[in-house]
């Protein structure tokens, strides 16, 4: 069983109708019913995540949750608690798929663990495919977060000097996730990136569809152009236009 791979992404939203309409129009995603309480998201015919209707609750904004593989979900729950995190949804079966649990890390960022019955490797999202391809944690203490997630998922990290004294730590299988210093007034959080052909054009389309620009478009030297937006129901997501390899 694999450990530490980002494999699935769920949108927790109090307004699924508005959310689905927005993402279908923006990215061309397909969203179809998959059981009575879950709607599955596909990009280019490949399953990628889902939409879960969330009851309105004080202090819990609409948000995306990344699922990361573990060989034993119950064991992951115990590690999370021992390392200072919280178990929000204890280990539960997913019929025909495996089992999962949902957590808060010690700083309050939400994430999930999943054990898959069919744990075959998944190809990375193609550049410009509008599929989610990256997950990034904004932490007030990246060193502490690296220790926590290393204990839960066995991650090692590779540091990248972004200049100005800021470091970016790439984590996860095939480095499909990262951890960086939190800035601004936002609480600690994971944010997901969709790989797009044109970040500026996608951001403009998002605003025209009722979304809100939060940051960018901005250049990430050597990587590409990114932008961060909030969908009309309030969940944040980012887009990345990867720089062509020279």
Q: What is the mean pLDDT of residues 155-170?
A: 84
Asked if 105 and 168 touch (Cβ cutoff 8 Å), the reply is: no
Residue 56 has pLDDT above 60, yes or no: yes
> What local confidence, expressed as pLDDT, does residue 245 receive?
61
pTM of the model: 0.94
Measured distance CA(117)–CA(79) in Å, rounded = 21
The predicted model gives 179-186 an average pLDDT of 90
Helix (H), strand (E) at residue 94 = strand 86-94
Same fold, 6-116 and 132-242: yes
* Fold topology of 132-242: 2,3-Dihydroxybiphenyl 1,2-Dioxygenase; domain 1 (3.10.180)
- By 3-state DSSP, what share of the chain in percent is helix, strand and coil, each rounded to 5? 20, 45, 35
Is residue 59 within 8 A of residue 104, CB to CB? The reply is: no
Q: Check whether 185 has a pLDDT greater than 90.
A: no
Query: Domain coordinates of the chain in residue numbers?
Result: 6-116, 132-242
Distance CA 92, CA 161 (A): 39
Task: Categorize the per-residue pLDDT at 173 as very low, low, confident or very high, splitting at 50, 70 and 90.
Answer: low
Interior/surface letters 158-175, b for 16+ CB within 10 angstroms, e for the rest: eeeeeeeeeebbbbbbee
Q: In this predicted structure, what is the pLDDT of residue 157?
A: 83
Give the model's pLDDT for residue 232.
98
């Amino acid at each position: 069983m694999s450990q530490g791979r980002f494999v699935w992404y769920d949108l927790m939203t109090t307004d699924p109708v508005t959310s689905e309409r927005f993402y279908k129009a923006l990215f061309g995603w397909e969203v179809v019913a998959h059981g009575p309480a879950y709607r599955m998201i596909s990009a280019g015919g490949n399953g990628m995540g889902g939409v879960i209707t969330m009851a309105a609750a004080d202090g819990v904004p609409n948000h995306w949750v990344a699922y990361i593989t573990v060989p034993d979900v119950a064991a992951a729950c115990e590690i999370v608690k021992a390392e200072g995190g919280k178990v929000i949804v204890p280990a539960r079966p997913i019929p025909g798929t495996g089992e999962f649990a949902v957590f808060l890390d010690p700083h309050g960022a939400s994430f999930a663990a999943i054990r898959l019955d069919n744990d075959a490797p998944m190809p990375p999202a193609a550049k410009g495919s509008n599929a989610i391809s990256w997950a990034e944690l904004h932490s007030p203490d990246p060193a502490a977060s690296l220790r926590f997630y290393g204990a839960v998922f066995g991650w090692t990290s590779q540091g990248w000097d972004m200049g100005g004294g800021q470091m970016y730590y790439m984590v996860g299988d095939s480095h499909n996730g990262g951890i960086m210093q939190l800035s601004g007034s936002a609480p600690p959080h994971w944010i997901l990136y969709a790989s797009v052909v044109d970040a500026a054009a996608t951001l403009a389309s998002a605003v025209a569809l009722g979304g809100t620009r939060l940051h960018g478009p901005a250049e990430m030297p050597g990587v590409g152009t990114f932008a961060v937006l909030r969908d009309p129901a309030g969940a944040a997501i980012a887009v990345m236009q990867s720089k062509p390899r020279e």
